[in-house]
Amino acid sequence: MVFLVNEQLVLDRTTLDKNLLSANIKPAILLAQRIEVSTVCGDKLINKIYSEIENGTLSGNYKTLVDEYLTDLTIYATLYHACTSMLSKFTNRGLQQENSENSSHSDISVYRELKSDAKNNMEFFAARANKWLFQNRELFSEYELCNSDGDMPANANSPFFSGLVL
């Protein structure tokens, strides 16, 4: 699998603990790319980007798209998806909450606030990438808003979530 961001970049740009293991972050990066980034780009465009990254030929408009738009989206989508998996772990003994003598668990309302904030940031960067891609769609022949070949097309609509429920 090709990664648009590495674990260190996610740790450097988010509030995740810098001592987290790669095994705790990689699943969230994969989810971020498979769900959020694929929704913005569509299957054909994201597969083209992955291919160019694998071959070491990412350049021009594709590099601009990745560096200026998809990296931020991937980072905050990773944080959003990591929030839930960091709360508890499935182990041989069932669902476990990790604990140490030097820390205490946060209230669930703090968790909800952090997850909401991560979602807002993720949706902001998704909307920003959607807008730029749509305005520059002629630069990317793989960018499709509809198709009939079974691949997922890009979704140019991304509603914001305010985090406030009345």
Q: pLDDT tier at 49 (50, 70, 90 boundaries)?
A: very high
Q: pLDDT tier at 160 (50, 70, 90 boundaries)?
A: very low
pLDDT for the residue numbered 145: 76
pLDDT for the residue numbered 161: 44
Q: Is the pLDDT of residue 108 over 90?
A: no
Rounded to whole angstroms, how far apart are CA atoms 118 and 112?
10
Rounded to whole angstroms, how far apart are CA atoms 106 and 104?
7
pLDDT for the residue numbered 93: 75
Mean pLDDT of 44-68: 96
Provide the percentage of residues in the chain whose pLDDT is more than 70: 77
Spell out the domain ranges in the chain. Answer: 7-88+104-139
**Lowest mean per-residue pLDDT among 100-104, 107-111, 114-118:** 100-104
Q: Is the pLDDT of residue 151 over 90?
A: no
Token pair of 67 as six digits = 């560096």
Rounded to whole angstroms, how far apart are CA atoms 153 and 16?
32
> H or E segment at 112?
helix 108-135
Local structure of residue 33 (DSSP, 8 states): I
pLDDT for the residue numbered 89: 66
What integer best gives the mean pLDDT of the chain? 84
User: How confident is the model over 73-83, as pLDDT tens digits?
Assistant: 999 999 999 88
